[in-house]
Structure 1
Amino acid sequence: MTDTRPLDARRAIDARALYDHLTGNGSRFLRVGELLTAGAEAAPELLPDAQTLAAEAARPLSAKTGVEMAQALFLQAIFADRARGLHLCHAMQLPRPEAAANAARLARDGVLDLGLVRVERHGRLLVVENRNAGRLNAEDVPTIDALEHAVDAALLDEESTACILRGGVVDHPRYAGRRLAGAGLNLTDLYEGRVPYVMYIEREMGWVAKVFRGLAAPDRLPDELAETREKAWIGVIDGFAIGAATQALLVCDAVVAEAGSWFNVPARKEGLVPGCTNLRLPRIMGDRLARQIIMNGRTIRVDEPEARLLIDRVAEPDGLETAIDEVAADLVDGGVVSIAGNRRAFRVAQEPLDLFRAYLATYTREVAVCHLSPALVANLERHWTGRKARG
């Protein structure tokens, strides 16, 4: 049975001392994955090593031994400490090493094709498109990685004023030739054991956080006083947005939806904590409705009155492109400088960086408890693999 108890005081102190050692007392930045790898090499009594994690990765979800719980408890200890937790948030908000080269390719070609994600210039707009076509634009490890590279390049781009976040055309037989916002987390990968614990954390702190907070500079904590590099983001719902695809809309400045589309966050059926949805959805749609969506599995259709709490504009399919362009134009009419300033001002009131850090101190452990629970396997077999078997 996996030990899910929080670290005792002694081991929490050890975790924080290890963080100080690995980061040179905060003088070096390590991303979450890099931190866990380096930590395992330096202190194998605290964190599982690469060989142990490779063996765990080869097991289906039902056969996991729970070694990743040590990673969760280590991260919880770091995020529970304000200075170290903010330092790790800072590390994750920096551009990836490949960002400058990717931005140069985008500037030169007007397009950045990363395979599963594509960035394309349309005048002063950039379209960041999830193209995981065979999986209904679901999010998995390679797609999440590609999305972060895409967001980095989009934010570094000098010629654009706003970004459109959208799902591409899929090739699933049921929806062939249609755009879809996204089917959420790839549940097949989850059930078959191909979703590592660290993916949950790097997603929330990586591309999603960068859409919400922009890119940081290494010499300044990216709190609400800092000049982060950011732009307006417009999310689009084509067809449906499930789970992670809905979560992404919560960090956008505006949302445009296709008439007849819908969105949900089926956390109850999946048996997971849905990222930062619990932090963001209540302030956007209200606490009671947020609980209905997260805990009761309520689906919201865009023609329902409640949908307007999230959706700025609904358009028929033949008018959707025009609606997106008009919403984007309205949003950036005052210029990029005022957009960035207003975004920072909203974050002061709604979700300052330290609140995000505190949320992560809970989320890092709770999502691991769910991820390693037999109940998650049972939920997937009841709601996902059983549904697939029935066709």
Structure 2
Amino acid sequence: MTARPLAGADRWSVPAPVLSGSLLTDAEALRAYTAEAEKLLGELPAKPDRDAGQQQLAAEVLADQRRLRSAFLELHVERVYHALTGGLREQRSLSELVFAAAEAFPGLTPTEAQLAAERECGQSDKDGREIDQGIFFHWVLRSPQAGPHLMRAMLRPTQRARSLLGEFSRTGSLQLGTVRLELIDRAAHITLCNGRFLNAEDNQLVDDLETAVDLALLDDRVKVGVLRGGKMTHPRYQGRRVFCAGINLVDLHQGRISLVDFLLRRELGYLHKLIRGVQVDDAWPRPLVEKPWVAAVDTFAIGGGMQMLFAVDHVVAAADSYLSLPAAQEGIVPGMANLRLTALAGGRLSRQVILSGRKLWAREPEAGVVCDEVVDPKLMDASVDAAVDRLASPAVVPNRHMINLSEEPMDRLRAYAAEFALEQALRLYSPDVIDKVDRFSAGASSDRRNGSVS
């Protein structure tokens, strides 16, 4: 971590401490070192106003802190996690955990105030404090003790879902902002209603979807869950159902897509709950309540929309619909798709879809690795109802449980999630992604203006 002279800016010359292996000693060294680094960063102009030398200086200071944080966690992650969870007795959400780390171990992760300040900036104007959160979760998830504990904690129902369960039990329907939840016979129908943005994903949609999934899993009347897109108000798709347009690139450009509350929470929260179920501690014979899921794809399932399909038990697709993962165009990692699509389709087709941006039209034979039924759009309702009837059989739940254990063991998912936490954090702040979302926001085609539609 040697400093280099920089034209037009002061040098960063504080030597990085050598870690001793003692948690208390190393935590104090981390605190002192990052305090000096933050003091220097605080003396620099805001990122948009820095000259080239100041930009380079800031980048070096941030990178040196990250090297030290990673080295600290490599040594101490399990002791840190024990301290944050009362010796594994407490289960905390991602945001609770990472902000508790900032308080208990100053300099390890960004504070709430630092994150709040960055949320006021567009993506290109941030210093990328979320990268430090990605480093933290990378090491926590890699830990054979802390990682499984966090994965289980993320399967708990949210507090919001617990508070709404009584109302859903009484009324059988809820409007949850961007999602509508309705009990129809034995099925909980979760309809994405972010119509103006073609059901593009944002922080709010992730929260609403997890709440709806929790409620469907917790309500004893529900035997099957159904995911479907609602009718659009977008001019080009007015009145048509659309499944999901993927990540909202306008929100990403404006800095409103959160690493923790969106990109990590969706994977370890509602998508994982679709597969594993929701954790109910007094449930017997297992603490996880599982149910089968049907997804109905109208028009398209792009990006995160296609990723949802990998987590359900049965996919009904309209014959005129298509699926895509525009990871190469957007520049980010498409969630767990690299893990799950490869398991379904093999490496060659997965590379075509993820690396080269190939669309899969539902009527193509290759789409059969994702779509169980491809039907005339007029038959979608009837086909969904028939799928619900088939999956409502009592033997479905134990068998899907065993299939999911075979297809995606928890440790395999955890190992992938550990790498994803860091890679996705780095991608969010990579120059190519920022350039792409800036150009998209400035002048993309009307098809993609309110979501990641290609």
For normalisation by structure 1, the TM-score amounts to 0.94
| C-alpha RMSD of matched pairs (Å) | 2.0
Return the offset for 1:104: 2.1
**Which amino acid is the alignment partner of residue 362 of structure 1?**
E
**Which residue of the partner structure matches residue 280 of structure 2?**
217
Find the aligned partners of 2:378 and 2:162 in 1 and give their Cα distance: 37
Return the offset for 1:227: 4.5
**Which residue of the partner structure matches residue 72 of structure 1?**
134
Find the aligned partners of 1:92 and 1:131 in 2 and give their Cα distance: 25
1:129 and 2:191 aligned: yes
**Which amino acid is the alignment partner of residue 312 of structure 1?**
D
**Which residue of the partner structure matches residue 276 of structure 1?**
336
Return the offset for 1:147: 0.7
Return the offset for 1:7: 4.8
**Which residue of the partner structure matches residue 295 of structure 1?**
355
CA contact (8 A) 2:78 2:145 kept: no
| SS of residue in 2 equivalent to 1:93 | coil
1:147 and 2:209 aligned: yes
Find the aligned partners of 1:188 and 1:365 in 2 and give their Cα distance: 23
**Which residue of the partner structure matches residue 57 of structure 1?**
119
**Which residue of the partner structure matches residue 203 of structure 1?**
266
Q: 1:213 to 1:359 in 2, by over 3 A?
A: same
**Which residue of the partner structure matches residue 361 of structure 1?**
418
Q: Superposed, which structure 2 residues align to 1:110-129 within 5 Å?
A: 110-129=172-191
1:374 and 2:437 aligned: no
**Which amino acid is the alignment partner of residue 155 of structure 1?**
L
> What whole-Å deviation, never above 9, does each CA across 1:341-364 have from its counterpart, x for those lacking one?
112211222111111111111010
Q: After the TM superposition, list the runs of 4 or more consecutive aligned residues in structure 1 that deviate by more than 6 angstroms.
A: none
**Which amino acid is the alignment partner of residue 48 of structure 1?**
P
Find the aligned partners of 2:270 and 2:279 in 1 and give their Cα distance: 13
1:352 and 2:409 aligned: yes
> What whole-Å deviation, never above 9, does each CA across 1:41-83 have from its counterpart, x for those lacking one?
2222101111111111111111110221111111111111011
| SS of residue in 2 equivalent to 1:184 | coil
CA contact (8 A) 1:271 1:376 kept: yes
Find the aligned partners of 2:235 and 2:85 in 1 and give their Cα distance: 49
**Which residue of the partner structure matches residue 87 of structure 1?**
149
CA contact (8 A) 1:259 1:303 kept: yes
CA contact (8 A) 2:69 2:108 kept: no
Q: Superposed, which structure 2 residues align to 1:330-341 within 5 Å?
A: 330-332=390-392, 334-335=393-394, 338-341=395-398
Taking only the aligned residue pairs, the percentage that are identical comes to 37
**Which residue of the partner structure matches residue 237 of structure 1?**
297
**Which amino acid is the alignment partner of residue 291 of structure 1?**
R
Find the aligned partners of 1:9 and 1:135 in 2 and give their Cα distance: 42
Greater displacement, 264-273 / 42-51: 42-51
Unaligned runs of 5+ in 1: none
1:309 and 2:369 aligned: yes
> What whole-Å deviation, never above 9, does each CA across 1:326-352 have from its counterpart, x for those lacking one?
1221222x32xx222112211222111
Find the aligned partners of 2:198 and 2:339 in 1 and give their Cα distance: 26
Pairing partner for 1:48 from 110, 125, 142? 110
Find the aligned partners of 1:52 and 1:7 in 2 and give their Cα distance: 17
CA contact (8 A) 1:15 1:46 kept: no
Return the offset for 1:386: 3.1
For normalisation by structure 2, the TM-score amounts to 0.81
> What whole-Å deviation, never above 9, does each CA across 1:139-188 have from its counterpart, x for those lacking one?
10011001111111000111121011011111001111111001101110
**Which amino acid is the alignment partner of residue 266 of structure 1?**
P
Greater displacement, 54-63 / 9-18: 9-18
Q: Report how many residues are paired.
A: 385
> What whole-Å deviation, never above 9, does each CA across 1:192-246 have from its counterpart, x for those lacking one?
11112212111111111111110113479x9xx9442011100111111110000
